[in-house]
Structure 1
Amino acid sequence: MIQSIKKSIVMLLLVTAFTSCNQEPTLQTYYVENELKPGFASFDLPTSFVNVENVDMTEEQKEAYNSVDKLNVLTFMKADTDADDYKLELEKVNTILKDSRYEELMRGGNPTDGKFVVKFLGDIDNIDELIIFGNAKNKGFLIARILGDDMNANKLMSLTSLLEKADFDENQLKGLTNFFK
Structure 2
Amino acid sequence: MKTIYYLFGLVVMAVLTLVSCESKPSLQKYFVEKSQSNEFMAFDLGTDIIKAAGSDNLSADQEKALKAVRKLNILIFKSDSTDTNVVHYKEETTKVKSILKNGDYEELMRVGSGKEGASINMLGENDDIDEFVVFLRKDGVFGLIRVLGDEMTPTDVLTIMQLVEKSGVDMAQLQPALNQINGNKG
Q: Does 1:102 align with 2:105?
A: yes
Correspondence for 2:45: 45
Number of residue pairs the alignment of both structures matches: 179
**Contact conserved, 2:50 with 2:163, CA < 8 A, in 1?**
no
- Paired residue for 1:83? 86
- Give % identity: 33
Deviation at residue 159 of structure 1 after TM alignment: 3.0
Paired position in structure 2 for 1:117 = 119
Q: How does the TM-score come out when normalised to structure 2? A: 0.83
Q: Give 1:100 deviation, angstroms.
A: 5.1
Distance in 2 (CA, whole Å) between partners of 1:54 and 1:109 is: 38
Q: Do residues 144 (structure 1) and 155 (structure 2) align?
A: no
Corresponding residue of 1:93: 96
Flag the 1:79–1:9 CA change in 2: closer, same or farther, 3 A: same
Aligned Cα RMSD in Å? 2.4
Task: Give the gaps of 5 or more residues in structure 2.
Answer: none
2:26 touches 2:103 (CA, 8 Å); kept in 1?
no
CA contact (8 A) 2:89 2:140 kept: no
The reply to whether residue 172 of structure 1 matches residue 173 of structure 2 is: yes
Q: CA deviation at 1:73?
A: 0.4
Query: Per-residue deviation at 1:118?
Result: 0.6
Q: 1:107 to 1:15 in 2, by over 3 A?
A: same
Alignment partners' CA distance in 1, 2:145 and 2:27? 10
For 1:158, what is the secondary structure of its paired residue?
A: helix
Correspondence 1:7-86 to 2 at 5 A = 7=7, 9-54=9-54, 56-79=57-80, 82-86=85-89
Q: Which moved more, 1:20-29 or 1:36-45?
A: 20-29
Alignment partners' CA distance in 2, 1:46 and 1:104: 24
Task: Check conservation: 2:78, 2:181, Cα contact below 8 A.
Answer: no
Give the TM-score normalised by structure 1.
Answer: 0.85
- Segment of structure 1 superposing worse, 71-80 or 43-52: 71-80
1:94 is aligned with what amino acid?
A: K
Distance in 1 (alpha carbons) for counterparts of 2:43 and 2:136: 16
Paired residues of 1:57 and 1:162 also in contact (CA < 8 A): no
Give unpaired runs (5+ residues) of structure 1.
none
Task: Find the aligned partners of 2:164 and 2:46 in 1 and give their Cα distance.
Answer: 15
Aligned pair partner of 1:126 in 125, 128, 144 = 128
Which has the higher mean CA deviation after the structures are superposed, 38-47 or 150-159? 150-159
